Amino acid sequence: MMGPMGMRPGIILLREGTDTSQGKAQLISNINACQAVADAVRTTLGPRGMDKLVANGRGVTISNDGATIMKLLEVEHPAAKTLVDISMSQDAEVGDGTTSVVLLAVEILKQMKPFVEEGVHPQIIIRNIRSAATIAVKKVRDLAVFFDISTPEGEDMLLKTASTALNSKLIASHQDLFAPMIVDAVKSLSADVDGLDDLRGMIGIKKIPGGDVRQSFLVKGVAFKKTFSYAGFEQMTKQFADPKILLLNVELELKNEKENAEVRIEDPSQYQSIVDAEWQVIYDKLDSCVDCGANIVLSKLPIGDLATQYFADRGLFCAGRVEDGDLKRVAKATGATIQTSTNGIFEGVLGTCVKFEEKQVGDERFNLFTGCPNDLTSTMVLRGGSEQFIAESERSIHDALMVVKRSLKSRSVVAGGGAVELEGAKHLREH
């Protein structure tokens, strides 16, 4: 139907105020935004790269890890956000090279800018970029050097990849300490088919402020910080050889009835029977934990003062409020199965290890499980002067762990220091 004056009514598809910019001007604006983001991380690249200090409402972060900086920048521009996304995916998949992928992407955009300004269609540009990428990737595969990890040369190659990943990091001067630790931790995972895929779940990193960075160490097994403890904890046995380990997701605490619960009694003496029944419930749970033969009881939920004292009197060790990740690592390492009930516990669900001990590390006390039957899991305990230093050390270790994992999966490496990039560029020019 025609409107007044013979005009058709306007059809509104988008919300009022929506920016519908398109064409050459918008493409150039997108490229400029991406260049601005890249300039923020450009100076962090390489061994001579500088750290960035990023302050926001939540605190201060000092880092030269591209992915961390990109995440903290909180980029608003939609096109520039894609750079943050490629940095994140590089961090998740490869671990290192998060700054390099951003700079490479932006450099490609920068080289394409004159073509856009001259009016070349974006589809023609992207077609040529894709064919160049295919040729470059093929050249990199041809340049790759394969190695066998069962030989000393292969072992040395893994150490070199770990050291290279740490070269541009804050802990570069301590790579002689960290590189062998990283290789040991990842190599123990490669014994299992799926071990490498669950790297974050299998290798724990614990941070303890204070002390010297050279006091950092690797535990072949599981280590976690002593959890909140109740009275009676001091009387517990803190060391066991070949203990039986019971893992629970059960609250071992005397609980009052839920609010608004109503119990009607006809005789005051019946009230005592209700109280006794409540106590009996907790005692039945504790008895079943002791009767199954366990020496160590760990639970994700609280273990109260009554239970703590009860276990201490019978020579057991217990810890409640254990973090989910730590509990799962203990389960994988010791072969125990996490129980959601104390009924019907039998010896098959208990785990074991060669040695359990609680020892002092800096200002903290740590529970250590070593000599586990499933030696895939390991824990790295990091020391350092300040919170920021240790946080950056953890990010650096994570990057190196991921790089060694990729090397173990691909069993091949290429030369670093920009050599492979230059060779790829030379090959493309001659093509």
- Just list the catalytic residues: 65, 98-99, 399
Mention every residue, 6+ apart, whose C-beta is less than 8 A from residue 79: 29, 30, 33, 34
CA separation for the pair 333, 324 (Å, rounded): 14
Phi, psi of 241 (to 5 degrees): -110, 130
Phi, psi of 223 (to 5 degrees): -135, 135
Q: Positive or negative, the Cα torsion across 415, 34, 68, 213?
A: positive
CA distance to 135, 285, 295, 341, 375, per residue, from 346 (Å): 60, 14, 14, 12, 24
- State which amino acid sits at residue 342: T
Long-range contacts of 425-431 (CB under 8 A, 24+ apart): 427/135, 427/136, 427/139, 428/132, 428/135, 428/136, 431/135
The pair of three-digit structure tokens given for residue 388, joined into one six-digit string: 């920021």
372 touches 243 (CB < 8 A)? no
HSE (CB half, 13 Å, CA atoms) of 233?
Answer: 14
